């Protein structure tokens, strides 16, 4: 691994190899991207793959580990500086792997179909700006305090989790003086997708929070949006799709004076928009699709709900533009 022939090697992809131990990739000083997939025999990422230098993986920025069902431990030698530049990590379908506390430079983390123990270790990754959690079969709730110290987090994706509530993540905790989203002062985008049992989406949001984009998809039992959303002075874009349990949008929407775009798709029980839509003067785009009752009321010009939305420059229903007033 220290030979001249490999000195400039910057990317390795190792797939479906029946080996029990990895070679000392850590000695490759130009290696920036490493992908490991489908190696069932590997149980440990131990000292052997770090090599014998003072620093291992000195240039590695992206690491992907996929479909390694027997991987249990990730060991870091005390005497070696490891992964000093690692920024993006993906761990998918590795149900036995555990903590990640040693990755002090990590910016982006993608965890798919892994153990709940691994999720619990996220609390120590204070440098994260992007976090995606998806496809956990057994995870009724997210660990208490999961996001308390992630002060740099900007993008959070929650996809295909059987969680029933986000309140343990968003609510004030007894040991804190400020709500969690106040601690997450950099969070601008939140996606919640395919959480079939989620109800409610709750938790206090501070007026100073800078959340701008909220995307809720495939949450059929969701009935309400949290009232504390009205405190989001920078909120600009709301996307709601495939939420059959949603029957109405609240009148406190009038407080969202920065809201510029709303997409409502496949919410078949949502039949009307609140009167406050008339006061949303920053609203520039409205898209409605596969919401039969709502589509009927929003027909131009005689629909019962048309006066509420007639001031919006761009209106699209079932992918058909019915109003375009931009100049």
243 belongs to a structural domain: no
29 belongs to a structural domain: yes
24 belongs to a structural domain: yes
pLDDT of the residue at 149: 74
User: What would the two tokens of residue 261 be?
Assistant: 């775009």
| pLDDT, tens digit only, all 327 positions of the chain | 555 667 789 999 999 988 888 888 998 989 999 999 999 999 988 888 888 778 889 999 999 999 999 998 888 777 778 899 999 999 999 988 877 767 889 999 998 887 777 887 888 888 888 988 888 766 666 666 677 777 788 888 877 777 666 655 544 332 333 336 444 556 788 888 887 877 777 655 555 467 888 889 988 888 888 787 888 888 999 999 999 999 999 999 999 999 999 999 999 999 999 999 999 999 999 999 999 999 999 989 889 999 999 999 999 999 999 989 875
Query: If we measure between CA atoms, which residue out of 174, 90, 167, 170 comes closest to residue 130?
Result: 90
Boundaries of domain holding 54: 1-106
Global confidence as pTM:
0.72
pLDDT of the residue at 67: 94
What's the domain count of the chain? 1
pLDDT of the residue at 152: 81
167 belongs to a structural domain: no
Outline where 95-166 has alpha helix (H). 116-120
pLDDT of the residue at 167: 52
Please list, in sequence order, all residues whose beta carbon lies within 8 angstroms of the beta carbon of residue 320, skipping any fewer than 6 positions away.
none
pLDDT of the residue at 146: 74
pLDDT of the residue at 186: 66
202 belongs to a structural domain: no
DSSP annotation string for 47-65:
GGGT-SSSEESTT--EEEE
DSSP annotation string for 15-31:
ES---SS---GGG-TT-
**Is residue 327 classed exposed, middle or buried when 0-12, 13-18 and 19+ CB atoms within 10 A define those classes?**
exposed
């Amino acid at each position: 691994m220290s030979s001249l022939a490999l000195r400039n090697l910057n990317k390795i992809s190792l797939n479906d190899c029946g080996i029990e131990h990895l070679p000392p990739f850590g000695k490759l000083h130009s290696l920036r991207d490493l992908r490991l997939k489908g190696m069932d025999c590997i149980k440990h990422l131990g000292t052997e793959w770090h090599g014998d230098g003072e620093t291992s993986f000195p240039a590695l920025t992206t690491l992907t580990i996929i479909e390694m069902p027997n991987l249990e431990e990730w060991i870091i030698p005390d005497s070696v500086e490891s992964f000093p530049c690692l920024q993006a990590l993906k761990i998918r379908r590795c149900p036995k792997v555990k903590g990640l506390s040693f990755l002090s430079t990590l910016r982006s983390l993608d965890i798919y179909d892994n153990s709940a123990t691994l999720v619990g270790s996220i609390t120590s990754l204070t440098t994260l700006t992007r976090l995606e959690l998806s496809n956990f079969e057994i995870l009724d709730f997210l660990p208490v305090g999961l996001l308390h110290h992630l002060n740099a987090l900007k993008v959070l994706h929650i996809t295909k989790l059987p969680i029933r509530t986000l309140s343990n993540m968003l609510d004030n905790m007894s040991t804190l003086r400020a709500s969690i989203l106040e601690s997450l002062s950099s969070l601008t985008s939140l996606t919640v997708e395919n959480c079939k049992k989620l109800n409610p989406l709750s938790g206090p949001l501070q007026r100073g929070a800078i959340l701008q984009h909220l995307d809720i998809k495939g949450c059929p039992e969701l009935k309400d949006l949290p009232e504390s959303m009205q405190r989001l002075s920078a909120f600009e874009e709301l996307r709601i799709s495939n939420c059959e349990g949603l029957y109405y949008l609240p009148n406190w929407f009038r407080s969202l004076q920065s809201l510029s775009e709303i997409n409502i798709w496949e919410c078949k029980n949502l039949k009307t928009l609140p009167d406050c839509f008339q006061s949303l003067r920053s609203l520039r785009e409205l898209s409605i699709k596969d919401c039969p009752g709502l589509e009927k009321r929003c027909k131009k010009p005689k629909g019962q709900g048309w006066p509420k939305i007639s001031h919006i420059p761009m209106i699209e229903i079932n992918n058909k533009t019915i109003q375009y007033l931009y100049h």
